[in-house]
């Protein structure tokens, strides 16, 4: 059900849909740091982060550079390692919450759809 055949007969590797490569990850780091990465890409971003040590290090470096220079100028004390891991954790929570909301909306729509069909059937039977 719901399976669509590619006319060219090419089989697309499924893996490509769930993860991203290093290049894409690195390109998205500044966007993520700005908090502007959306849920769909954000999930894959987190997935790559968890599975790829090199990219985690790259993220770490970019975070230090971005935040570190700003803080040094302001003279505030900081613990960026801790802050970055907190930022990651907060983002995971945010994505999870978003996912839950989407699931709830999906079910509400499904129930509403079923109710409408039920009413139509009922009307049809009674007529």
Kindly state the helix (H) or strand (E) to which residue 23 belongs, with its residue range: helix 22-33
Q: How far is the CB of 35 from Zn ion (least distance, A)?
A: 21
Alpha helix (H) residue ranges in 1-127: 15-18, 22-33, 39-51, 53-74, 80-126
Place of tokens 């590797």: 13
Q: How many residues bind Zn ion (CB under 5 A)?
A: 3
Say whether residue 27 binds Zn ion (CB under 5 A).
no
**Complex with Zn ion: residue 56 or 92, whichever CB lies closer:** 56
Q: Point out which span in 55-63, 80-88, 91-99, 118-126 binds Zn ion (CB under 5 A).
A: 55-63
Binding residues for Zn ion, rule: CB under 5 A, are 22, 52, 55
């Amino acid at each position: 059900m719901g399976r669509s055949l590619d006319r060219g007969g090419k089989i697309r590797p499924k893996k490509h849909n769930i993860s991203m490569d290093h290049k894409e990850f690195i390109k998205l780091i500044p966007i993520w740091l700005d908090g502007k990465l959306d849920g769909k890409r954000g999930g894959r971003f987190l997935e790559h982060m968890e599975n790829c040590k090199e990219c985690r290090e790259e993220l770490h470096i970019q975070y230090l550079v971005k935040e570190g220079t700003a803080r040094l100028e302001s003279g505030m004390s900081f613990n960026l390692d801790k802050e970055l891991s907190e930022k990651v954790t907060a983002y995971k929570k945010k994505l999870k919450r978003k996912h839950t909301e989407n699931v709830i909306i999906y079910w509400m729509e499904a129930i509403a759809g079923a109710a409408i069909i039920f009413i139509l059937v009922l009307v049809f039977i009674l007529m």
